[in-house]
């Protein structure tokens, strides 16, 4: 491949280009600055995240070791239903080539990691714990990794 290179002096001295402005073909693009509202929202979220750090200590030292949940089945069925919906939406959007699959994939990956975390940390010792670990390692975390990869790939491609 041949490359045509002209120096400023050659362009300025060429016939018919008197006073022509030389515009470089490749300039480093500046990162766009976020809108003021977006910057404020970002800093508000950072402040809220930092404010939660002391609350983690309160929870860690104040919560009972065991608890009874009144709607335990509803909580788990709801979480798994959201995961199923996320997997279906991600799959359909990805199969159609719709870039919005990145949003569904990111949300679904998060749900799958949360499910693996709570399954393993709330399981009773023995068979229940072994099943939770097997599900986490054999299904939830690999699917979360796949969804995360899909989301990152979509974000790294030019629009």
pLDDT at 28: 65
Chain position carrying tokens 């018919």:
16
> Between 72-95 and 141-156, two packed helices, what is the crossing angle to 10 degrees?
40
pTM of the model: 0.73
Most confident range (mean pLDDT) of 5-19, 60-74, 90-104 is 90-104
Q: How far apart are CA 93 and CA 154, in angstroms?
A: 12
In this predicted structure, the answer to whether residue 112 has a pLDDT above a threshold of 90 is yes
Q: How confident is the model at residue 1 (pLDDT cuts 50, 70, 90)?
A: very low
The string of pLDDT tens digits covering residues 29-51 is 677 788 888 899 989 999 999 99
Q: How confident is the model at residue 67 (pLDDT cuts 50, 70, 90)?
A: confident
CB 113 within 8 A of CB 136: no
């Amino acid at each position: 491949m041949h490359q045509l290179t002209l120096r400023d002096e050659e362009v300025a001295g060429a016939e018919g280009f008197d006073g022509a402005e030389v515009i470089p073909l490749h300039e480093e693009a500046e990162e766009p600055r976020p809108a003021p509202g977006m910057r404020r929202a970002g800093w508000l979220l950072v402040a809220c995240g930092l404010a939660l750090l002391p609350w983690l200590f309160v929870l860690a030292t104040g919560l009972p070791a065991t608890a009874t949940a009144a709607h335990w089945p509803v909580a788990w069925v709801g979480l798994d239903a959201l995961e199923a919906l996320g997997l279906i939406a991600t799959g359909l959007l990805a199969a159609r080539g719709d870039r919005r699959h990145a949003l569904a994939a990111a949300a679904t990956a998060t749900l799958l990691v949360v499910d693996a975390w709570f399954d393993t940390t709330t399981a009773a010792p023995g068979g229940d714990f072994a099943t939770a670990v097997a599900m986490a390692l054999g299904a939830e975390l690999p699917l979360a990794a796949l969804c995360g990869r899909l989301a990152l790939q979509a974000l790294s491609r030019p629009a």
